[in-house]
Structure 1
Amino acid sequence: MSDVTPAATDEPAVPDIDLPSDAFDAVLDALADREAGDPLRFEGFSVVRSGEDDEKDSASAEDTAGGYVLVDGDRRTGLSERELHEALAEHAPAVTDWYVFERVVGEFGPRRAFLRWLEDADGATVAARYAALAEGIERAWGELTITATVTDRGERRYDVRHADDDGVPIDELDAYDDPLDARDLVTLDEKGRYRPLKTAPSLAGGWAFPDLGPRDAYEAVETIYPATVANWHREREGELDVNHWRETMARQSGIYGVVKTWDRGEGHEHVDWVAEACCDDSQCLKRREWQYDDETDLDVDGGDGVFPCREPCSVVVSAARKWTRLESEQPRTYEFELTPSEKEQVEDIIDAVADGRIDEIREADTKEGANRYRTRFLRAKLFDDEGNLGGVPAEPEGDGEE
């Protein structure tokens, strides 16, 4: 597979491309919609419908006597439709490239920007891109690998799959052709657990969409990672509307309205904790752009994801509601008797659970603090028959009255 651009050579090995009749018909339609003399421009050449003289194309009066004019260094004038078709066939890569993005993809919005980004269409030449597409251009999007290729008619085809399945033969995966089938693929993780956050790095693999057209490829990606392309595009255009913590919490009502009570003029340390818990790259593939408010940044890194997070999501709000209630409890001091190794073990257990590493710790590896048998031993030693940790409050309960 090729990266975005092929290895540097004097002349890229551009694959042979046939000019399909649909692309040629689209050129004729585009010319018919333009004023005579107004050129239709492609990479390296232009075509104009003969008629009135036009300074923009510097066509002479004899050039515009009838038919079409093609300018590609030389000037070919008075071309019939048949002659124009033959002339454009010599420039089939450029014409099919125009056709794909102008007529197949269409709209100047997130879909077009994303598909052009996949093959660096705004930076590389048609020749360089077609040479790279012939090998396959791979791009990463979250946990996805998207591979773009080109057919001998200049059509784009896309393979969308989990990055862990990169290079796996398609007959070893579950193949799909309807992008909406992705809705079922993103519901559960590989252990069968529900995924409340679609951008969590817990996407299960074993499937592929091996032969999608441009519109379906975009639809599949947006189904797997909703709104990520749209927000990525808004950010590129300088139009990403970010809603920070305070304004998002101010909108909460009902059972979630309690989160607003967490702001007590004591700074934003509690929001740092929320962001560190929920928004780290290990928990979410988005790059957090929201802060405490317009004037106050959080002290926690926002991550490195390619697509931005413009506001606290429902998972963050729901977790913050629970933590608001828990943090409202008055702290108390407890005394426990732990050996130094047991204290380190408690730290290891918390770290392993927080980082999702429990399943990586082998049962026989009792050197690991979060090892299951070692943890069961600690529970047997420290918990009473009711399952309570056998510590005692260092302060009396209640308000201190005897």
Structure 2
Amino acid sequence: MTDVRDEQVDALLDRVAERPVELDGLRVTDDDDGYALETPDESHDGLSEPELREAVRSDHVVPYITNWYFWEEAIGRRGRHRRAFLRHAEAADEHPVPERYDALRSGLETEWGEVVVTATLGADGHRRYEIRHVDDAGVDHDELDAYHDPLSARELSTYDERGRYRPLRTAPSLVSGWVFPDLDGRDAVETLDTIYPASIANWNLEREGDLDVTHWRETAERQTGIYDVVEELPPDAVDWLAEACCVDSQCLKRREWQYDADHDLEADGGTGAFPCREPCSLVVAAARKWTKLEEEETRTYEFELTPSEKEQIEAIVDAVADDRIDEIREADVYEGANRYRTRFLRAKRFDEAGNLAGVATEPEEGHHDDHGDDGDRDDHGDDGDHDDHSDRDD
């Protein structure tokens, strides 16, 4: 049973002395005839202060008083993004207080990227929040590493399961095995913002209709230095870029930016809970490399492959692109991207220089290319300039 504390009633009286109280079905006013108290289940008029203090302790009224105190006094209205998310976490705008209190006693879960937030109810109406990885749902606390400082989430989200640095915080590669077991509302939101920076603010701005979206063209045009070349990336290539980087398998944000305000991209934008309002730095860095690659002229190469070998190369590309290499075991020789089967293909079809079917990417100097004249040379060839395809561009 939720209890009302004296300080909660005192806070209510102080607020009513300034203006009427209205929230989630509760209404309390003060006029010349005394106090008026109204909930969906009860209504009282002309109450004295002692009578109001007694009325708010009714079993039907207590949840409304403690709910008001939590949202207006404990959470407040200054941090509107925080408040909006915490109310979202218990569907406060969709369900009445008694129904929510019953659900909160068992715990209400909200998925946010790769984490799940569980809101529960304290004895005085205050909410407590637990945050853990979705893969650890149902795992006992004793089996997880417990943290209490929101800043600890910074270290947890810096490296993936293999200890590799995560340059994109919203990549679906967050480590599991941890829990923040008991947070208040402020610390819960700070923890989420540490794991997924600005995700809550952008989610609420979108919800309010105020999300400021910066499309690709505007982003590209404002780049300077070594990145100003991305403005030259063709529209089709921008679509391929979005398809490569901005989908659920690669990023948990939902892409809202397009090519420009008048031209949408065909690539799927994803289904994430929070929006992506502009191309991120990782996308811009990748676009720089692809801009240079797209400057290359196409050539015709001739290889001899069996139908199965052609399909195997296609399977290898798919497996790498979808990050499924680690799922293919050594014994899975029927998988095109199987390591032993790929090594067999290399032994059979690659020469000692690593050329597929012995066909060099660039013709030997002085050698006439059967697929073009001597003047049809790649602008990025050996002409004394640096090679734009070196590792320095990565």
Q: Does 1:399 align with 2:375?
A: yes
Q: Which residue of 2 aligns with 1:270?
A: 237
Match of 2:87 in 1: 116
State which of 236, 249, 252 in structure 2 corresponds to 1:285: 252
48 and 286 in structure 1: CA distance in 2 versus 1, 3 angstrom threshold:
same
| Secondary structure, counterpart of 1:315 in structure 2 | helix
Q: TM-score, length-normalised on structure 2?
A: 0.88
Structure 1 residues 26 and 398, CA gap change in structure 2 (3 angstroms)? farther
In the TM superposition, what are the counterparts of 1:253-332 in structure 2 within 5 Å? 253-263=224-234, 268-332=235-299
The answer to whether 1:220 aligns with 2:191 is yes
Match of 1:78 in 2: 48
Q: Does 1:163 align with 2:134?
A: yes
1:279 Cα offset (Å): 0.6
Taking the TM superposition and a 5 Å limit, the aligned residue runs for 1:43-62 are: 43-49=24-30, 53=32
> Which of 1 and 2 has higher RCO (CA within 8 Å, sep 6+)?
1
Q: Distance in 1 between matches of 2:211 and 2:376?
A: 54
Distance in 1, matches of 2:144 and 2:7, equals 34
Q: Is residue 2:74 matched to residue 1:107?
A: no
Q: CA deviation at 1:94?
A: 0.7
Contact 1:337 1:391 in 2 (8 A): no
- Residues 45, 372 of structure 1: alpha-carbon distance in 2 compared, 3 angstrom cutoff: closer
Q: Any idea what SS the aligned residue of 1:179 has? A: coil
- Rate the CA distance shift 1:45–1:107 in 2: closer, same or farther, 3 A: closer
CA distance in structure 2 between the aligned counterparts of 1:43 and 1:162, rounded to whole angstroms: 31
Q: Distance in 2 between matches of 1:340 and 1:70?
A: 80
Which range moves more in the overlay, 354-363 or 23-32? 23-32
Change (3 A) 1:111 1:323: same
1:76 CA drift (Å): 4.8
SS at match of 2:14: helix
User: Where in structure 2 are the equivalents of 1:4-83 lying within 5 Å?
Assistant: 16-32=1-17, 34=18, 38-49=19-30, 53=32, 63-64=33-34, 68-71=35-38, 72-80=42-50, 83=51
Q: CA deviation at 1:322?
A: 0.6
The code of the aligned residue for 1:101 comes to W
| Cα distance change on mapping 1:274 and 1:42 into 2, 3 Å | closer
Distance in structure 2 (CA, Å) of the matches to 1:299 and 1:45: 48
Q: 1:202 aligns with which of 170, 173, 176?
A: 173
In 2: Cα distance, 1:104 partner to 1:338 partner: 69
How far, CA to CA, are the matches of 1:308 and 1:27 in structure 2? 38
Q: CA deviation at 1:175?
A: 0.5
Q: Deviations over 1:226-261 (max 9, x none)?
A: 111111101111111111110110010001011112
Counterpart pick for 1:92 among 62, 68, 92: 62
Equivalent-residue separation in structure 1 for 2:293 and 2:351 (angstroms) = 24
Give the direction of change, closer, same or farther, for the CA distance of 1:177–1:315 in structure 2 (3 Å limit). Answer: same
Say whether the 8 Å CA contact 1:141–1:306 is kept in structure 2. Answer: yes
Give the corresponding residue for 1:144. 115
Which deviations, in whole Å up to 9, do the C-alpha atoms of 1:239-286 show, x marking residues without a partner? 1111111011001000101111224xxxx2111100000011111111
What code does the residue aligned with 2:116 have? T
Q: Secondary structure at the match of 1:395?
A: coil
Identity of aligned residues (%): 59
Alignment CA distance shift 1:142-1:77 (3 Å)? same
Note closer, same or farther for the CA distance 1:327–1:43 as it changes in structure 2 (3 Å cut): closer
Partners of 1:149 and 1:400 lie apart in 2 by 70
Measured in 2, the distance between the counterparts of 1:89 and 1:165 equals 40
- Residue range with higher mean Cα deviation, 385-394 or 351-360: 385-394
RMSD: 1.8
Pick which of 310-319 and 103-112 moved more: 103-112
**CA-CA distance at 1:44 after TM superposition:** 4.5
SS in 1 for 2:248: coil
